A and B are shown apart, each in its own frame.
Chain A
Amino acid sequence: MGAHHEPPAELSTRVKAIESLLIERGYFAAEALDKIVQIHEHELGPRNGAKVVARAWADQDYKKWLLTDATAAIADMGYSGAQGEDMVVVENTPDVHNLVVCTLCSCYPWPTLGLPPTWYKAPPYRARAVIDPRGVMKEFGLDVPEDVEVRVWDSNAELRYLVMPMRPAGTEGFSEEELANLVTRDSMIGVAVALSPSAV
């Protein structure tokens, strides 16, 4: 996936043209667009999702709520809004590993994970995550054992997905803050597992 860090120049040009039109025709004040970018670059990001996962690891009742009504449970922590209006959280277990992709575009839960990484939006990931999820995960350094069921979630429609990774061993007695440090963006997409305490 390493060769796909920058969006194509043609796409950037098209986005700039749309931005100019939105401003020139009076739909948006230019500063309003800056504000959208500012919020997504500085206020939203995977630390939000990490706090959700850490709370679920630490609190069984919260975990149950998160897995049955993710939208409400995440709203309880204040991470609701655009591209997180309708949420589903899927749990990794010793028997099931979950992986999220949007094959049709780049649907992604912004309030909990921020903006998607470029590889998530790029055609190679979007095409291969569904037909060869194990091969893709291997490229990220994750070898899922054969006896574990891989579930791919194509978030092609209205729902947005967050993976709840397994709580690492050796974290008994950790505070929610310490637990959150082990939850990476990639582990909530499913291309990685949570960090072990010795890795932090």
Chain B
Amino acid sequence: MPTITPEQIPDLVRKGASCRVDAALEPLFKTGDKIRALNINPATHTRLPRYIRGKEGVIDRDHGVFVFPDTQAEMKGAKPQHVYSVRFTAQELWGADAPQKDSLYIDLFEDYMEKT
């Protein structure tokens, strides 16, 4: 790997490095689908926070296809898949004492969810 020089930096910062993948993969979920986040507890890298595991939510929108960090971090491949914004009510996450109207949106990979 060649050494990165100061001259290369402005361009690298301006372009960034999106993990979006240009692949026409069929989405497993669509807006309005009811899902449950899987109760998985990997000891390795994941972008599925503990407070979401096992909770039920609704697909809000499909963001497109991205590299799957859980396998990528383990050098087990990019495993591209759709990422969705998923809405959970505050009461589903935190119980009946949470404000009835409030909600939480989080971006979840397909591998984190099952249909209910």
Contacts and interface: CB of A to CB of B under 8 A. Distances in A.
Contact of A103 (B13, B49, B63, B103): B49
B63 to A, nearest CB: 6
A103 B3 contact: no
A147 B6 CA distance: 52
A85 B20 contact: yes
Q: Looking at chain B's contact residues, is the secondary structure mostly helix, strand, loop, or mixed? A: mixed
Interface stretch (A1-9, A55-63, A129-137): A129-137
Contact of B94 (A27, A29, A131, A150): A131
A10 interface: no
B102 A151 contact: yes
Contacts of B12: 82
Interface residues of A, number: 39
B45 to A, nearest CB: 10
A133 B8 CA distance: 41
A134 B99 contact: yes
B17 A82 contact: yes
Given A36-B9, A36-B13, A80-B16, A29 B102 contact: no
A147 B69 CA distance: 38
A8 B80 CA distance: 36
B44 interface: no
Interface string A74-89: 0000001111111010
Contacts of A88: 63, 85
Contact of A28 (B4, B47, B108): B4
A156 interface: yes
A146 B102 CA distance: 9
Contact of A80 (B14, B101, B105): B14
Nearest to B98: A131
Interface string B62-95: 0100100100000000000001010000100110
B116 interface: no
Interface of A: 26-29, 31-32, 34-36, 39-40, 80-86, 88, 103-104, 130-131, 133-134, 146-159
10 contacts: A28-B3, A32-B8, A80-B15, A81-B14, A82-B13, A86-B63, A104-B47, A131-B93, A134-B99, A158-B19
